[in-house]
Amino acid sequence: MITRSSKVWVDNVEDYLFCPRKLYLTEVIGAKHPEPIRVQEGKKKHKVREKWISREGKCGVVIKNEELGLIGKVDGIVEHDDYFEVIEIKDTDREYYYGSEKLQGVLYAELVEREKDKPVKLIFRSRGSDKKMSITNEITSEALKAVEKTRKLLEGKMIPRVNHSEKCIRCPLNNVC
């Protein structure tokens, strides 16, 4: 089996998809920024939802895969007779999910499927509702390509340019970018 020396966290991939420059500044250059209040609030709600998941399955499960060089902390895993449910918690009342959130969920599902060697179903759990997301070969391939781009960035093999967008308004690094 091929193994990779450096492991990429799934959260790093989501950060890469949000803005490669931000990931570069924080993880490669070491730029620090205070945690935004909305993130602090989100973490508190996340803890409460984790308690709910622990009534039906396991929460906060760290899984790594040598072949993919990938590691992630899965919000929730619920075992059924012939499949596993992978639960990704999102503190939102949006009716849709961002592309980066979908790829993040797909990567958790991929880690669980390889670890457990059983089919998985991916569920996004938001305020008061569960939404199932179907996983295609195309989206899995897209997610795995994003892992490799993230690895390249973390290894210092690329320096992303500033790409001003509406994301910069809520970015805590917009004064140093």
22 is a contact residue toward ligand SF4 (CB under 6 A): yes
What does the block give as tokens for 35?
A: 């945690």
**Cβ pair 42, 126 in contact under 8 A:** no
Phi, psi dihedrals of residue 12, rounded to the nearest 5°: -65, -35
Select the span of 5-13, 118-126, 151-159, 168-176 touching ligand SF4 (CB under 6 A): 168-176
Total binding residues for ligand SF4 by CB under 6 A?
12
Among 17, 19, 68, 70, binds ligand SF4 (CB under 6 A): 19
**Cβ pair 31, 19 in contact under 8 A:** no
38 is a contact residue toward ligand SF4 (CB under 6 A): no
62 is a contact residue toward ligand SF4 (CB under 6 A): no
Minimum CB separation of residue 31 from ligand SF4 in Å reads: 9
**Cα–Cα distance between 36 and 38 in angstroms, integer?**
5
What does the block give as tokens for 6?
A: 């450096």
